[in-house]
Structure 1
Amino acid sequence: MRQGRPLRIVYASLWERYEGAVPPWSTDRPWGQVLADTIVGQAADRARRRAPGLPLTTRVAAEDAAGALLQEGRQAWGVVVGARGRTELGDLLLGSVGLVVAARAWCPVVVVRGDRQALEARHGRILLGVGDQDVDAPSVAFAFREAAVRDAELDAVRTWRRPLHDPLLRGEAGVYLAEEASETLDKALAARVREHPEVRVRRSSVEGAAHRVLTERSAAADLLVLGARRRDGLVGLQLGRAAHRALHHALCPVAVVPQPPLTTTAAVTEGDE
Structure 2
Amino acid sequence: METNGLPLVVGTDGSEPSLRAVDWAADEAASRGVPLRVVFASLWEHYEGTALASDLRKPSEEVLADDIVDSAARRARRHHPDLKVVTEVLPEEPEYALVRESRDAAALVVGSRGRSGLAELLLGSVSLSVAAHAECPVIVLRGSHDNRTTPGTRGRVVVGVGEDGKESPAVRFAVEEARRRGVPLEAVRAWRCPAHETTDHPLMAGEPARLHQERAVEALESALQDVPADVEVRRRTAEGHARRVLVDASYQADLLVVGAMRRAGHFGLQLGRVAHAVLHHSGCPVAVVPHRVPSS
- Does TM, normalized by the shorter one, top 0.5? yes
Q: How does 1:155-166 map to 2 (within 5 A)?
A: 155-166=186-197
What one-letter code is carried by the residue in structure 1 that aligns with 2:207? E
1:50 corresponds in structure 2 to: 79
* Matches of 2:148 and 2:38, distance apart in 1: 19
What one-letter code is carried by the residue in structure 2 that aligns with 1:140? V
Aligned to 1:220, the other structure's residue is in SS state coil
1:67 to 96, 101, 109: 96
* Matches of 1:223 and 1:133, distance apart in 2: 20
Contact 1:181 1:205 in 2 (8 A): yes
1:100 corresponds in structure 2 to: 129
What one-letter code is carried by the residue in structure 1 that aligns with 2:235? R
* Matches of 1:212 and 1:89, distance apart in 2: 24
Q: How many residue pairs get matched?
A: 261
Aligned to 1:204, the other structure's residue is in SS state strand
Q: How does 1:154-233 map to 2 (within 5 A)?
A: 154-168=185-199, 171-191=206-226, 193=227, 196-233=228-265
Offset, 1:134: 3.1
CA-atom RMSD in angstroms = 2.0
Instruction: Classify 1:172/1:263 alpha carbon distance in 2 versus 1 (closer, same or farther; 3 Å).
Output: farther
State the TM-score, normalizing by the size of structure 1: 0.89
**Are residue 109 (structure 1) and residue 141 (structure 2) matched?**
no
Aligned to 2:104, the other structure's residue is in SS state coil
* Matches of 1:231 and 1:154, distance apart in 2: 28
What one-letter code is carried by the residue in structure 1 that aligns with 2:193? R
Aligned to 1:90, the other structure's residue is in SS state coil
* Matches of 2:38 and 2:236, distance apart in 1: 37
* Matches of 2:196 and 2:246, distance apart in 1: 25
1:254 corresponds in structure 2 to: 286
* Matches of 1:237 and 1:24, distance apart in 2: 33
Structure 2: 5+ residue stretches without partners: 1-28
Aligned to 1:92, the other structure's residue is in SS state coil
2:172 corresponds in structure 1 to: 141
Contact 1:229 1:239 in 2 (8 A): yes
* Matches of 1:92 and 1:63, distance apart in 2: 27
Aligned to 2:165, the other structure's residue is in SS state coil
Q: Which moved more, 1:181-190 or 1:120-129?
A: 120-129
Q: Which moved more, 1:115-124 or 1:205-214?
A: 115-124
Contact 1:139 1:226 in 2 (8 A): yes
* Matches of 2:67 and 2:115, distance apart in 1: 21
2:277 corresponds in structure 1 to: 245
Offset, 1:137: 1.4
Structure 1: 5+ residue stretches without partners: 265-273
Aligned to 1:135, the other structure's residue is in SS state helix
* Matches of 2:43 and 2:115, distance apart in 1: 20
Contact 1:118 1:251 in 2 (8 A): no
Instruction: Classify 1:207/1:89 alpha carbon distance in 2 versus 1 (closer, same or farther; 3 Å).
Output: farther
Offset, 1:158: 0.3
Offset, 1:230: 1.6
Offset, 1:55: 1.6
1:268 corresponds in structure 2 to: none
